[in-house]
Structure 1
Amino acid sequence: MGPVLDTILGKYRETYPRLQRVEQYLHGHHAPAYMPESAADEFGVFRERSVKNFLPLVVDAVASNLYVDGLRAAGGGDNFPVWESWDRNGMEEAQTAVHRDALAYGEAYVRVLPGSNGPEIEPLSPLSVTALFKRPNDPFPIAAAVHGTTFINGERRATVDLYDDEFVFRLVSKEEGDDPGASDYVVVEQLAHGLTHCPIIRFRNMASTSPNVPSLGEVEPLIPIQDELNNIALSTNIAIQYGAHRQKWVAGVTPPKEDQHDVDLWGRIKKRAVMFSASRLLIFPDKDTKTGQFDATDVKPYLDAYNNTVKHLASIGSLPPHFITGDMVNLSAEALAAAEESLRKKVLDRQRAFGGAWRRVFQTAAELMGVVLPADAQIVWRDCTPRSFSATVDALGKMVATMGVPPEAAWQMVPGMTPAQLAEWRILAEQVDPATKMANALAKSVIPPEVEPVAA
């Protein structure tokens, strides 16, 4: 266990800073936009207000189209019994966190262990899991560690739950603190987890065949572009504040010195520097007095640079430009579908990748339940593609009428259809269809013919 633990801890210390940086950018804690050291202190306010965080949108655009709706046979039908563990563990809501983590960080993890009421399925943060694989694309790791903390005698200690294909080892650091760099641990517990493989299942955003290349998330490649946007936004804010308004000037007038003003009986200042106002007429007795104004700074190049960088970010992130810019003027249905084609392809690719991982989750749960997951079991993804509901129903109706497709097959293709609704529709159809009801009654009333025994 020693070499495996050392390898895992080394990998954890190496990858944790990178994942923590992604987490910070997701929550808007970006590297400060560039400013020279001689800049005025007031520019710090503009720097804080120049952060426009687009990175969560890159994750949300894909994650909002990923929703596991069932585990059924390829030909349809009801969900397999192992689906009960999905509902019991609240995975209907928790699956979103798994998808978002995999998209944002490149990897996400789910732990499946035996519980008092059946398999326990728990999503784990990629910042707290380190997994080792014999080959890059193996379905299960040879060992995986879940990093955490605990308190012993009032002292905070780092913990590692180390899993292999048979046991789980609970290790606690000898020194106080929860530093990821802790390396001196002691085994305090050893338990058999009851599976034939490591119970940690990995979800990958973009897989690679190289053992040295981690799965890349959607956020990390866009961090340099996000930094560039913040720099442009800072320059734009400064230009608007100090140059967008026409600055006026006066020559030939000597303003009064500080703290030297003529005041009236009520203490009001009678003599002061020239103050411009829309409702004031300025008259200068000196014939040599001159007035003028500087041209305003043109902020359009700043805004153009910002918008072009936003479009660049959308292109690298495979997002339709109107998702970020909001430009949807006079777009036909065909043009809108073409603009969203890159996002649709990415969603389909992630459904294939994550679908395989979810199937391994169900295989593990089935093993704990003492059953075998059928070979034709498939992950069913909800159709989240934006379509006109009336147009979809009309197309399904024509498919049933002209192609002879059974109505129940078309029901499964209705947008937003859930297994519970599908089962309810089947019950209602039997109740309102007299022919079906009579056929079922006749089938039940038929007495099977007696079979005469065959002489030996």
Structure 2
Amino acid sequence: MVYRWQRSARNGGRWTERTSGLARGERAHNPNPLGVVPLVELPNRSRLWGKPRSEIATVLPLQDAVNTLWAHLMTASDGLALPARAILGMDRPVREITDPDTGEVVGEEDLPLDRFRSDRLLWLEQQGAQIAEFSAANLDNYLRVIGVAVEHIAAQTRTPPSYLAGKLVNVSPDGFAASEAGLVAKVSEKQRHFGSALREIVRLEALAQGETGRAESLSLGSVIWRDPQFRSDAQYSDALVKLKSIGVPDEALWERIPGVTPDEIERWKTMRTDAAGAILGGGIAALYGPKPDPADQDDDQADDELTGAA
């Protein structure tokens, strides 16, 4: 069933059966035209017992550690990233407090150091005063620990390190492909488990469109995935030529070409059949373009004769 509900702000925000449209013959509750609940689960790491597991459940502690170290790094960079200077052997600068009526000194207060920081000037009048310096904190220790944690995250999630670090320096194609081997295997595993759920989604779409025949055909079909590993056109061509050499049919090779649709494959089959018919019928020249019209050839020949006579 399909249950229709509504909530009005004037009714205290409570849910009630939807009554709008009932005058047109609509009902608050209607039979479900699909016959099934239109929700499909795509479970991640599904198991025979227990709930599916999140893909990032195992790396959440490491991610929390990276966030904590990054917060410490920001805090340290705010207060300890620059050298600090100290004055030794001198009293803190103060200024006298005088009575506005009598002009007598009644006390003293510390002189704010903001002026010295802004003007970057300081007078040392006391004998033996000197300036010492504290070196800035080394923040590389935080970065090294964060880098190691990121490498562990990449290893546990089978993510290529270049995806997280963003550094590619003098990496060979074979080395880059090897670094993506874990991710490609992971995606291939997801394709195997998500295929049935996606097939059910498409079947429900056909039922929603009222195409019961197509829905029944889709329930017996299979999901065809694209190759998860990126390869250049030269690599695909070389692989297809080698498969052809061991007797793999052309139709099977065409299906392996990225981006090729079944309609294109059917068109290629028709073109191959037409080419074979032209060869058997003696019209090989038709394969290289339309044949010239004899009338056009006679006109061209007459034009050439007139040009020669002139």
TMscore range, shorter length: 0.5 to 0.7
Which amino acid in structure 2 is aligned with residue 360 of structure 1? Answer: E
Q: Distance in 1 between matches of 2:97 and 2:280?
A: 105
Q: Is the 8 A contact 2:34 2:204 kept in 1?
A: no
1:372-391 pair list within 5 angstroms: 372-373=216-217, 377-391=221-235
Q: Give yes or no for the alignment of 1:209 onto 2:51.
A: no
Output the CA distance in 2 between the equivalents of 1:348 and 1:245: 50
Give 1:440 deviation, angstroms.
9.4
Shift of 1:313: 2.0
Q: CA deviation at 1:298?
A: 1.1
Structure 1 stretch displaced more, 321-330 or 301-310: 321-330
Give the AA of the match of 2:221: A
Cα RMSD after superposing both structures: 4.0
Aligned to 2:93: 255
Q: Please tell me whether residue 246 in structure 1 is matched to residue 102 in structure 2.
A: no
Amino acid paired to 1:373: S
> What is the alpha-carbon distance in structure 2 between the residues aligned to residue 191 and residue 396 of structure 1?
52
Instruction: Find out whether 1:413 has 2:235 as its counterpart.
Output: no
Answer yes or no: is 1:236 the counterpart of 2:73.
yes
Measured after TM superposition, the shift of residue 230 of structure 1 is 1.5
- Report the alpha carbon displacement of residue 357 of structure 1 after superposing the two structures with TM: 1.2
Is the Cα contact below 8 Å between 2:7 and 2:14 reproduced in 1?
yes
CA contact (8 A) 2:200 2:219 kept: no
Quote the offset at 1:190 in angstroms: 3.9
Structure 2 partner of 1:404: 247
Structure 2: unaligned runs, 5 residues or longer: 19-26, 99-112, 284-310
Q: Which has the higher contact order (CA 8 A, sep 6+)?
A: 1
1-side partners of 2:189 and 2:114: how far apart?
Answer: 71
Contact 1:383-1:416 at 8 Å conserved across structures? no
Give the 3-state SS of the residue equivalent to 1:203 in structure 2. coil
Count of residues paired in the alignment:
255
How far the C-alpha of 1:318 sits from its partner, in A, is 2.3
Q: Amino acid of the residue matched to residue 247 of structure 1? A: A
Out of 137, 143, 163, the residue aligned to residue 303 of structure 1 is 143
Q: CA deviation at 1:206?
A: 1.4
Q: Judge conservation of contact 1:149–1:158 (CA < 8 Å) in 2.
A: yes
Q: Distance in 2 between matches of 1:439 and 1:158?
A: 75
Q: Is the 8 A contact 2:188 2:228 kept in 1?
A: no
Shift in Å, 1:426:
4.5
- Which amino acid is 1:413 matched to? R
Q: 1:312 is matched with which residue: 140, 143, 152?
A: 152
- Cα deviation for residue 283 of structure 1 reads 6.8
State the AA in 1 paired with 2:77. Answer: I
Q: What CA deviation, in whole Å up to 9, does each residue of 1:80-117 have, x standing for no partner? A: xxxxxxxxxxxxxxxxxxxxxxxxxxxxxxxxxxxxxx
Identical positions, percent: 25
Q: Is 1:354 the counterpart of 2:197 in the alignment? A: no
* Residue in structure 2 matched with residue 136 of structure 1 by the alignment: none
CA distance in structure 2 between the partners assigned to 1:391 and 1:189 by the alignment:
58
Letter in 1 for 2:134: F
For 1:226, the equivalent position in structure 2 comes to 63
Query: What are the equivalent positions in structure 2 for 1:56-455 lying under 5 Å apart?
Result: 150-152=6-8, 155=11, 156-157=13-14, 188-195=28-35, 197-210=36-49, 213-251=50-88, 252=90, 254-257=92-95, 274-275=116-117, 284-364=124-204, 369-371=211-213, 372-373=216-217, 377-400=221-244, 402-426=245-269, 429=272, 433=275, 435-437=276-278
Q: What is the TM-score when the length of structure 2 is the normalising length?
A: 0.66
- The answer for unaligned runs of 5 or more in structure 1 is 1-142, 160-170, 173-186, 261-270, 443-456
Query: In the alignment, is the contact (CA less than 8 A) between 2:158 and 2:182 conserved in 1?
Result: yes
Residue 319 of structure 1, CA deviation: 1.4
DSSP-derived class of the 1:416 partner: coil
Secondary structure of the residue aligned to 2:40 is strand
Q: Deviations over 1:97-144 (max 9, x none)?
A: xxxxxxxxxxxxxxxxxxxxxxxxxxxxxxxxxxxxxxxxxxxxxx9x
1:262-318 per-residue CA deviation (whole Å, 9 max, x = no partner) reads: xxxxxxxxx9964598xx897745431110100211111111111122222222322
2:31 alignment partner, SS class: strand
Q: Is the 8 A contact 1:256 1:272 kept in 2?
A: no
Q: How far does residue 201 in structure 1 lie from its aligned partner after superposition?
A: 2.5
